[in-house]
Structure 1
Amino acid sequence: MAPYTQSSGEGIALLRAYPAERDVRVGALDLIGLTPRQRLQLGGMACARCPRTDGLQPGGYVYTRSDPEDAGRLAWPVRVCPDHRSTGCTQ
């Protein structure tokens, strides 16, 4: 199943979006274990919640651990697509 699907019938639109656990902004990430998609999201080249790359706007921050003891964290500004504007900062 596609992570994002939209269908309509008789004037009703159904929308399925990524669940919160796929949102890169949840928790602190380990820089060593990042997936290719998370690298794009950290660089602001993809939505923080889905793979979409068009219409991106500011969407809050992602935090990564700066050391093995988790004593410090680094903040990365991320972006969200028009479908996920309400899931984070858009200023």
Structure 2
Amino acid sequence: MPIWDGQVYLYDTWIVPKGGQKDAAFRFLKYVMDPKVLARFSSVFPYPPTRRSALQYVSKEMLPHLPTAPANFKRALNTNEEWWADHIQEVNARFQNWLAK
């Protein structure tokens, strides 16, 4: 069984580019963000659904293997995007120095 203590999570977004097929894109997004569809994907591949509301549809056998299961998510760490935006140059320089050693 995986250990989910101290996992790091972050958020992601979908976009519909200007000039694209807007109606088709929104139909696609509506489908892929449906909680039951997300849960079906998670039932075959242990990748967490992107909506908490989908967890109720994930099988009891698969749920403990997902990082977003309530018991596994308690000690998860959120990324701080603002901090990274302010410190990315410094962190990259330190990382490059470390690699060079």
Do these two structures clear the TM 0.5 threshold for a shared fold by scoring above it?
A: no
Q: Flag the structure with more relative contact order, 1 or 2, with Cα contacts below 8 A and sequence separation at least 6.
A: 2
Which has a greater percent of helix?
2
Normalising by structure 2, what TM-score? 0.25
Which has a greater percent of strand?
1
Normalising by structure 1, what TM-score? 0.26
